[in-house]
Amino acid sequence: MTTWLASYPRLLRIILWVYSIGFLAGTYTHAKGILTNGFLATPVPLVIGIFWDALTLLDPLTVFLLWWRPKVGLWLAVAIMVSDISVNTLVYLTGYFGPPTARMVPLSLFEQSLFGLLVFLTAPLAYSHFTSQHKESESANSFLR
């Protein structure tokens, strides 16, 4: 008996698992911050604090959608990575946590940027699989009518 997951190509399953691990790591980071310091406890503008705390819910939602509504999940994954890397870079460069160091990037921002690069490079590949899969199932359904 094959499951829907087994029907995905191996590379696509690996991509989805890596995304899931990355976004669950983000969930852990944001949840830990809230549990340790409370909501909106970071000394940044309110909008940024709300965004960071909202990622506690958006990151696991992304994981859920990646597996149950993959095309929507891929869009959300890319949107989160673009906005999160942009916000975190802005926070770093404006010096909210101390003055930026020339030619240096915090390790967490570097790691996040690498994960973001992976998402940006692989999301189109994954999305095209789900788009072609949808077209195939539509043509099969129209054939059966």
User: Chain centroid to CA 33: how far?
Assistant: 18
The mean per-residue pLDDT over the stretch 16-32 comes to 97
- Domain boundaries, given as residue ranges, for the chain: 10-139
25 vs 130, higher pLDDT = 25
pLDDT of 117 reads: 98
What does the alpha-carbon distance between residue 123 and residue 24 come to, in Å, rounded to a whole number?
17
User: Chain centroid to CA 38: how far?
Assistant: 23
Question: Residue 134 pLDDT more than 60?
Answer: no
Lowest model confidence (mean pLDDT) among 12-26, 63-77, 124-138: 124-138
pLDDT of 102 reads: 73
- Kindly state the tokens that stand for 139: 């043509």
- Count of all residues that appear for the chain in the document: 145
pLDDT tier for residue 1 given thresholds of 50, 70 and 90: very low
pTM score: 0.84
Q: Tell me the average pLDDT of the chain.
A: 88
The mean per-residue pLDDT over the stretch 96-112 comes to 83
pLDDT tier for residue 104 given thresholds of 50, 70 and 90: confident
